Amino acid sequence: MSYFLARRIAGFLLTLFVVSIVVFAVMNVLPGDPALTILGLDSTEEARAALRGRLGLDEPVVQRYLAWIGGALHGDLGQSYSFDVPVSGLIAERLPLTLSLAVSGMALTIGLALTMGLTAAARHGRAGDWAIMLLSQLGIAVPAFWLSMLLVLLFAVKLRWLPPGGFPGWGDPVAAARSLVLPTVALALVQSAVLARVTRSAALEVMRQDFVRTARATGFAPRHVLWRHVLPNALVPIVTIVGLQFAGLVTGTIVIENVFYLPGLGRLLFQSIANRDLITVQALVMLFAAIVVTANFLVDIAYVVIDPRLRAQRA
């Protein structure tokens, strides 16, 4: 067990390390002169030289990488060029919004998907099953940003129930929550389509087994059997996809925040790209990639927690 864990942790750290090299390489080494990118073609050579000096671009690449990663490990992600404040401050300011969006989106995704998937499995082969599968097939094909626009058209433009976008700040929790409803639903509807399918097929696999028949024969209510006996045994594939989806959800927030003008990390990423603020972009891309890698790592660990058989095998 501890050997398995140590191996996974080592793999996780190694992946993070290589990801940081890729991000750094793409942002620093390949595109030529970052000072030119930041200042634009009409900048003077002196201005570019001054900026290169300020950003430490004259130093060898390896040294710059070490300085960046060393700083990042201490929470120092450098100084944003366009906002002229530390990048870590910018991130800390916007993280709560993105995190709330991702977590509420994930919670709604899981709730919707488990209900839809288990309902479809329980009605296997009947109309309800077909309807749910059809819906989820459609959900997979609908881009989240378009769904967002349709939701805005219906609930903000036509019915005027919810705001079309923007964020009033956390000072007014009700207004803040209201402005997160449509983005959360847009994120979750699309993601739950995939998860519902996985839940359905995993549940069907389990439902054929003897202990489920026994539980039914013992006289447990169908709903009880479904949620207490079938679901726990169908969790391994479901958790795999949840892990992958959390990654999808986090990158999904990048798009959704831009649709709804929410001042989170995704919006910051775009502002930074527009402002050619490479230092902020680099920090944010690394942060998003790190979240994805961490989610994958946690899924690996979660297997062992969920399935005691794997624990025995891998010990």
Partner 1 sequence: MTARLPANILIGAVLVALVAGAAVLSAVWTPYPYAAIDVANKFAAPSATHWLGTDQLGRDLVSQLMAAAGNSMTVAVVAVGIGCSVGTVLGLLAAARGGWVEEIIMRLSDLGFAFPALLFAIMLAAAFGPSLSMVVIAIAFINIPTFARVSRAAANQIWRREYVFAARAAGMSSFAISRDHVLPNIAAPVIVQATIEFAVAILVEAALSYLGLGAQPPAPSWGRMLAEAQTLMYLAPQLAIWPGMCIVTAVLGFGLLGDGLRDISDPRLARQRSA
| Residues contributing to the site for partner 1 (CB under 8 A) | 15, 18-19, 22-23, 26-27, 30-31, 37, 137-138, 140-143, 145-146, 149-150, 152-153, 157, 164, 201, 204-205, 208, 247-248, 251, 254-255, 258-259, 269-270, 272-273, 278, 281, 285, 288-289, 292-293, 296
Tokens of 21: 């090299």
Minimum Å gap between C-beta 308 and partner 1 is 24
**Closest to partner 1 by CB, 150 or 312:** 150
Report the distance separating Cα 196 and Cα 210, nearest Å: 24
Question: Nearest CA to 103 among 267, 300, 295?
Answer: 295
Minimum Å gap between C-beta 212 and partner 1 is 14
Rounded to 5 degrees, what angle do the CA atoms 296, 302, 304 make? 125
Strand partners of residue 79: 86
Q: Quick check: helix, strand or coil at residue 273?
A: helix
Query: Is-contact 102 188, C-beta < 8 A?
Result: no
Query: Is-contact 176 169, C-beta < 8 A?
Result: yes
- What beta strand segments (E) does 106-155 contain? none
Q: Quick check: helix, strand or coil at residue 15?
A: helix
Minimum Å gap between C-beta 39 and partner 1 is 14
**Closest to partner 1 by CB, 146 or 170:** 146
**Closest to partner 1 by CB, 22 or 315:** 22
Report the distance separating Cα 76 and Cα 188, nearest Å: 33
Report the distance separating Cα 289 and Cα 92, nearest Å: 17
**Closest to partner 1 by CB, 188 or 292:** 292
**Closest to partner 1 by CB, 22 or 221:** 22
Minimum Å gap between C-beta 219 and partner 1 is 26
Helix (H) or strand (E) holding 224: helix 222-224
DSSP annotation string for 42-105: TS-HHHHHHHHHHHTTTS-HHHHHHHHHHHHHTT---B-TTT-SBHHHHHHHHHHHHHHHHHHH
**Closest to partner 1 by CB, 167 or 288:** 288
**Closest to partner 1 by CB, 188 or 202:** 202
Minimum Å gap between C-beta 32 and partner 1 is 9
Minimum Å gap between C-beta 173 and partner 1 is 27
Minimum Å gap between C-beta 23 and partner 1 is 7
Minimum Å gap between C-beta 275 and partner 1 is 10
**Closest to partner 1 by CB, 200 or 229:** 200
